């Protein structure tokens, strides 16, 4: 059986890009924080199931909860960067991006005592129009990115991208590992987690991942967020229908679905599954 990569994007409910126009950044510290408790809950679940995963972590979270970062590493999970303040790469200049990824890398390494080699952009915001970001990541000491989603989406996506691990920089070992998709009727459909996993019936997600493993003979990537297992998180008012639907759909079912997923497939870290350290 193929081994897949389990990943967690460590951010709180108010960090999501869809809330940018509703929750100002200067309100983040006065809102109830739930990311520490929820991430410990995930770590406990992974411990019970003997699962190792990659935690793409915001610098904002690490700065406030260094003990959480230390536990991720002590539990032998992979620590990776999710940028500092969950700012999409499409909203940054190359200089701003370089500062963001270097500051976050140093902070995570100072807290954890290990080298951080992986990066995932906020809202998969590396695409066809900002491939320069991959070269900047390599220059700042990262070995791989998991920031491209080969789908068409209203917020992100690069449908023309390869569906599996590839080297985007000519003559360089730097690796991009796109989020998993299933190919059907000449289109890519998402099957790598997040809101799509909460929207689809579980059996459909299970079928898609099995097809990747058994038919395409590839390893899949799955991702989710700590707030997705937290149906009791504070409800935001005034959201438009699309944002409200996407964010709150089936939060009460997510933890059970994750538990089933951990049983139905084999999992490990990004670095181990895709041979980043080899």
Q: Which residues touch 62 (CB under 8 Å, ≥6 apart)?
A: 68, 69, 104, 107, 108, 111
Average pLDDT, the chain: 95
User: Considering the chain, what percentage of its residues have pLDDT values greater than 70?
Assistant: 98
Where is pLDDT greater, at 20 or 219? 219
Task: Assess whether pLDDT exceeds 70 at residue 142.
Answer: yes
Task: Assess whether pLDDT exceeds 80 at residue 171.
Answer: no
pLDDT of residue 238: 93
pLDDT digits (tens, 9 = 90+) for 177-221: 999 999 988 899 999 999 999 999 999 999 999 999 999 999 999
How many alpha carbons fall within 13 Å on the CB side of residue 29?
6
pLDDT digits (tens, 9 = 90+) for 32-53: 999 999 999 999 999 999 999 9
Task: Assess whether pLDDT exceeds 80 at residue 157.
Answer: no
Query: Domain-by-domain residue ranges, the chain?
Result: 3-273
Task: Assess whether pLDDT exceeds 70 at residue 11.
Answer: yes
Task: Assess whether pLDDT exceeds 70 at residue 278.
Answer: no
CATH class of 3-273: alpha beta
């Amino acid at each position: 059986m193929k081994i897949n990569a389990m990943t967690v994007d460590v951010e709180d409910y108010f960090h999501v890009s869809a809330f940018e126009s509703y929750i100002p950044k200067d309100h983040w510290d006065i809102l109830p924080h739930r990311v520490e408790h929820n991430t410990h809950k995930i770590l406990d679940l992974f411990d019970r199931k003997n699962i190792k995963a990659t935690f793409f972590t915001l610098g904002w979270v690490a700065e406030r909860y260094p003990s959480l970062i230390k536990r991720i590493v002590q539990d032998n999970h992979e620590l990776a960067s999710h940028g500092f303040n969950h700012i999409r790469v499409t909203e940054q200049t190359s200089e701003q991006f370089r500062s963001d990824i270097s500051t976050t890398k140093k902070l995570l390494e100072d807290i954890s005592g290990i080298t951080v080699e992986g990066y995932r952009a906020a809202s998969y915001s590396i695409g066809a129009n900002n491939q320069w970001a991959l070269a900047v990541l390599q220059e700042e000491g990262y070995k791989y990115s998991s920031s491209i989603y080969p789908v068409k989406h209203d917020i992100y996506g690069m449908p023309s991208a390869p569906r599996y691990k590839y080297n985007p920089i000519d003559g360089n070992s730097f690796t991009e590992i796109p989020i998993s998709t299933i190919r059907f009727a000449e289109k890519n459909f998402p099957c790598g987690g997040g809101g799509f996993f909460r929207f689809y019936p579980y059996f459909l997600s299970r079928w898609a991942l099995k097809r990747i493993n058994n038919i395409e003979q590839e390893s899949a990537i799955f991702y989710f967020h700590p707030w997705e297992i937290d149906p009791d998180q504070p409800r935001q008012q005034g959201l438009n229908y699309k944002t409200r639907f996407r964010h709150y759909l089936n939060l009460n079912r997510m933890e059970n679905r994750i538990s089933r997923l951990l049983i139905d497939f084999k999992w490990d870290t990004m670095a181990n599954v895709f041979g980043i350290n080899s």
